[in-house]
Structure 1
Amino acid sequence: MWENPSRGLSCRYRLRRLRKTSSIRGLVRECELEIDHLVAPIFVREEGKDPEPIASLPGIFRHSLQELPRYCTRLFELGIRAVVLFPCLSPERKDPKGKAALDEKGVVVQAVRAIKAELPSLCVVTDVALDPYTSHGHDGIWDPERDWVDNDATVAILCEMAVLHAWAGADFVAPSDMMDGRVGAIRERLDSQGYPYTGIISYAAKFASAYYGPFREAIGSAQPGSFGVDKSTYQLSVTNVREALRDAKLDEEEGADILMVKPAGPYLDVLAKLREKTLLPLAAYQVSGEYAQIVAAAEHGWVERARVRDESLLAIKRAGADLIFTYFAEEVARERASQRDRFV
């Protein structure tokens, strides 16, 4: 009586039944991109007043200490609940040993305190590495005679950096240097100095990637067009998955609270495998080169910026990331807020 005369194929499984309308697709959505899972990277400079644009990162700026709290307030109002700080020092402030990293009145200490005074509930993550402070651009103490970074001498400085940032009020320190043993040493040092609740986000699987160029220009560790120094003696080989998993396992054993894969997009296989190996929260960093290539392609009219951006971020979530460090954080949050306003 109610038979449809155009029955068509005798097809037992019609997967399109679950794709028929946007409401149905929403019901069965496996992955969601939440704004409070995004971490916004912020470049902070010592001098100046107004934001300074970064040529290789269109839409991203070096923020002054004076303007930083207002900017963070805007991010917080958009729903972003975490930021990560990267210092931008003048060449005169840099030296082979990165002494400015331990300056009690340095830009990171001032930035953390300024943010926390205005927004105590905003989660502040600080980068722990020496490349923003060294004149040669390496993440640690460079030994020219051995032609590599001195691991243990570097770790000793990183421990003091971590304590300094905890003293300033950082919620997490994030060692991005890839030195052996640094997570355990930092955890021990933080605990012994009275900061047992300062967390560690370990750059556990950080690859010697070609995608870091715009970031290095932003912090001044490489001149435009040079792409920086070769860090392959301490960062992971782009060919190796098992080594990355081993690195992450060691960092977990040493006391990391969150493990990170960096870059994100080219290493989704590593992220997915690591998700199966650990119960710790996982972070992934959509790095400057990933951001820049999407922006550049969109500016040429070759891709739809918002769709490609969201697809790339959803892929990172789908592979297993709990939180994503991304230069698109503010842009995504602003669009979401605009969409909410239209339906209020």
Structure 2
Amino acid sequence: MSFPLVRNRRLRSSAALRNLVREHTVTLNDLLYPIFVTHGANIKEEISSMPGVYHFSLDRLEEEIREIVELGIPAIVLFGVPHEKDAHASSAYDPNGVVQQASRLIKTWAPELLIVADTCLCQFTDHGHCGVVHYDEAKGSAEVLNDASLELLVKTAVSQAEAGADIIAPSNMMDGFVYAIRQGLDEAGYEQVPIMSYSVKYASSFYGPFREAAHSTPQFGDRKTYQMDPANVREALREAQSDVAEGADMLMVKPALAYMDVIRALRENFNLPLVAYNVSGEYSLVKAAALQGWVDEKSIVLETMTGFKRAGADMIITYFAKDIARWLRN
């Protein structure tokens, strides 16, 4: 059967009909909004490379939380920006660390809001790497140690759960990080706290604005020995399979926009809920073009979000979440 009997345009003739046959829809329930919390007082400081995104001190955080709840966004991702850093990221697992304090406060203001705690060390180390670094002075080299890093990640995850985090999201790409954190949470009595694993995290050029926001640029070298090569997709399946076997409850692909094929590959191979992280560089590119009047921001953002859903994502972490929430109301 073919034209003229088959006319595919029949189902596009009106907005109502297009809505009726739409295959994928972006809703508020798909969105997680990242927030950067820091020490200090009366701080609401816009991040220069991320228009509309701010650092918040704890005394200014409530206004942001109230707005998020009022917009109907169901979940946030908490990133801490501490004043003090050291080689072993001690402020990451300090019971009075900035993420822990923020979590406790948020649960008093909005107990129904889901808190996803980013569980990494790079913002908290003075060297900016995501784990413990061993320096070999004789060779003039430095190595990020895998297993020693796991111990600190477990301490961080448990302290975050104790402070009220609903979901632990380890993002460091150490081998065995899901298994170690799952074991640590269970032993501490948090067996019901799920793990949203940054299963497939690439060594991407799209992270630049985030590193300004989180003050987490490595002080030497790069993260290519633990984050993935952007050229690889079969490796992504191996990484995800490891996390599934180790007890992950949700899988993530980061970044999202240049990796929709990877999102699709995970969707076709695994049944766990799948998260797409629409990262800082993706956000800033659109914001910059929109500010110049070169693109229609609303249209391009909603099209991108729909693309993530079409590729197979169940959830989207995005700095556009508040904008999307407002657009969906209108």
Asked if TM exceeds 0.5, the reply is: yes
Aligned to 2:94: 103
Query: What TM-score comes out, normalization by structure 1 length?
Result: 0.92
Aligned to 1:58: 51
SS at match of 1:284: strand
SS at match of 2:195: strand
Q: Is the 8 Å Cα contact of residues 138 and 149 (structure 1) preserved in structure 2?
A: yes
Deviation at residue 70 of structure 1 after TM alignment? 2.6
Aligned to 1:185: 180
Aligned to 2:7: 14
Q: Is the 8 Å Cα contact of residues 263 and 313 (structure 2) preserved in structure 1?
A: yes
Deviates more, 1:59-68 or 1:173-182: 59-68
Aligned to 2:259: 267
Query: What TM-score comes out, normalization by structure 2 length?
Result: 0.96
1:211 to 198, 206, 210: 206
Aligned to 1:45: 38
Deviation at residue 49 of structure 1 after TM alignment? 1.2
Deviation at residue 50 of structure 1 after TM alignment? 3.5
Instruction: Report the Cα distance in structure 1 between the residues aligned to 2:221 and 2:279, rounded to whole angstroms.
Output: 17
Instruction: Report the Cα distance in structure 2 between the residues aligned to 1:82 and 1:102, rounded to whole angstroms.
Output: 22
Number of aligned residue pairs? 325
Counterparts in 2 of 1:146-295, with a 5 A limit? 147-222=142-217, 229-295=221-287
Aligned to 1:342: none
SS at match of 1:211: helix
Query: Which residue identity lines up with residue 101 of structure 1 in the other structure?
Result: A
1:72 to 58, 62, 65: 65
Q: Is the 8 Å Cα contact of residues 137 and 229 (structure 1) preserved in structure 2?
A: no
RMSD of aligned residue pairs (Cα, Å): 1.5
Q: Is the 8 Å Cα contact of residues 140 and 149 (structure 1) preserved in structure 2?
A: yes
Deviation at residue 229 of structure 1 after TM alignment? 4.8
SS at match of 1:260: strand
Structure 1 residues 16 and 231: CA distance shift in structure 2, 3 A: same
Query: Which residue identity lines up with residue 186 of structure 2 in the other structure?
Result: D
Query: Which residue identity lines up with residue 62 of structure 2 in the other structure?
Result: P
Deviation at residue 63 of structure 1 after TM alignment? 1.1
Query: Which residue identity lines up with residue 21 of structure 1 in the other structure?
Result: S
SS at match of 1:199: coil
Query: Which residue identity lines up with residue 248 of structure 1 in the other structure?
Result: A
Instruction: Report the Cα distance in structure 1 between the residues aligned to 2:327 and 2:261, rounded to whole angstroms.
Output: 29
Deviation at residue 336 of structure 1 after TM alignment? 2.3
SS at match of 1:233: coil
1:144 to 132, 135, 158: 135
1:88 to 71, 77, 81: 81
Aligned to 1:308: 300
Q: Is the 8 Å Cα contact of residues 93 and 157 (structure 2) preserved in structure 1?
A: no
- Structure 2 alignment gaps of length 5 or more: none
Q: Is the 8 Å Cα contact of residues 26 and 306 (structure 2) preserved in structure 1?
A: yes
Instruction: Report the Cα distance in structure 1 between the residues aligned to 2:183 and 2:126, rounded to whole angstroms.
Output: 29
Instruction: Report the Cα distance in structure 2 between the residues aligned to 1:213 and 1:30, rounded to whole angstroms.
Output: 34
Whichever of the two has the greater Rg, that structure is: 1
SS at match of 1:180: coil
Aligned to 2:119: 128
Instruction: Report the Cα distance in structure 2 between the residues aligned to 1:135 and 1:160, rounded to whole angstroms.
Output: 18
- Structure 1 alignment gaps of length 5 or more: 1-8, 340-344
2:109 to 103, 115, 118: 118
Instruction: Report the Cα distance in structure 1 between the residues aligned to 2:3 and 2:24, rounded to whole angstroms.
Output: 32
Q: Is the 8 Å Cα contact of residues 75 and 114 (structure 2) preserved in structure 1?
A: yes
Percent of pairs with identical residues: 47
Query: Which residue identity lines up with residue 78 of structure 1 in the other structure?
Result: L
- Runs of 4+ aligned residues of structure 1 deviating over 6 Å after TM superposition are none
Q: Is the 8 Å Cα contact of residues 95 and 135 (structure 1) preserved in structure 2?
A: yes
Deviation at residue 191 of structure 1 after TM alignment? 0.5
Aligned to 1:321: 313
SS at match of 2:117: strand
Deviates more, 1:20-29 or 1:43-52: 43-52
Aligned to 2:16: 23
SS at match of 1:27: helix
Q: Is the 8 Å Cα contact of residues 93 and 160 (structure 2) preserved in structure 1?
A: no
Instruction: Report the Cα distance in structure 2 between the residues aligned to 1:175 and 1:111, rounded to whole angstroms.
Output: 18
Query: Which residue identity lines up with residue 12 of structure 1 in the other structure?
Result: L
Instruction: Report the Cα distance in structure 2 between the residues aligned to 1:73 and 1:229, rounded to whole angstroms.
Output: 40
Deviation at residue 148 of structure 1 after TM alignment? 2.0
SS at match of 1:159: helix
Deviation at residue 329 of structure 1 after TM alignment? 0.2
Q: Is the 8 Å Cα contact of residues 222 and 229 (structure 1) preserved in structure 2?
A: no
Q: Is the 8 Å Cα contact of residues 178 and 234 (structure 1) preserved in structure 2?
A: yes
Q: Is the 8 Å Cα contact of residues 138 and 229 (structure 1) preserved in structure 2?
A: no
